[in-house]
Structure 1
């Protein structure tokens, strides 16, 4: 008899990131939101649990203040009735929320994590999932990040940041997979 279905954790797929890109910030994985939509479809078809995470900014200049346009979820990742939305105010979806309690109450031990950004809220949530004992998979083509300037003024590409973050997480905190891997695993059951 198969165990409980994995849960999809969709982190911060909010309009602020489109606004950042429109303002000139460069990102990687331009098809990430389409892959997230594919995952949502597969989990919904399978009847597997989905948890939507929203970031609510606390600094006055945050793009994620609830009254700002950037707080809105992107249409492709919008929740459907019955899919919980969990609002966080820090990087981890487990801090200051009831996500862990909901997962444990549902006897959910396996998580599939996607969203934005790879090296911030996705990474922090994935690290905590691993530390809390969840069997986590991070979907490499369903997350993205932006170029950054380093401490010494060096330019770091979104691709390099994304790759290094995935390397740091792989094996110890999560398995790194693709959206196709996850969807194929449902078909194989």
Structure 2
């Protein structure tokens, strides 16, 4: 019986942890005006007849806060990389110097910053919903075990504390991202 309870609590915690990981992954895609190689994660390049992630055919660096430099492993890929970046609809205009593809990341307008902050808040809310759904599942699983009433209440409190901990972590992650977005 105790093993079942531990399994349910561990499963709930793991599911909530996955909600946090998903949130962090989603927030990486929301750019904050600074150049970051992860901005190009969605870019696919035509390489020997198949679509290949940009990171597998080149090195991506940030020489400064507003510039991304992409050095392809083969010089012949430069036009394909430029085409892939434009097809990814990231709002970047790539240029090349014969050896590298260079992207200047434009500074964000105040209106765009507010839109990105709203988008980040929506992602945080989605993560909170996921954590609450995990709580509901854990509570339903605990009810199925036919535990004594006082034990049931204690376990429900434990699940709620776990939920509160993860919701607070989501709030912290969102606050940090909002600050990053709104900083000029």
Calculate the TM-score normalised by the size of structure 2. 0.22
Please state which structure has a larger fraction of its residues in helix: 2
Greater radius of gyration (CA): 2
Calculate the TM-score normalised by the size of structure 1. 0.22
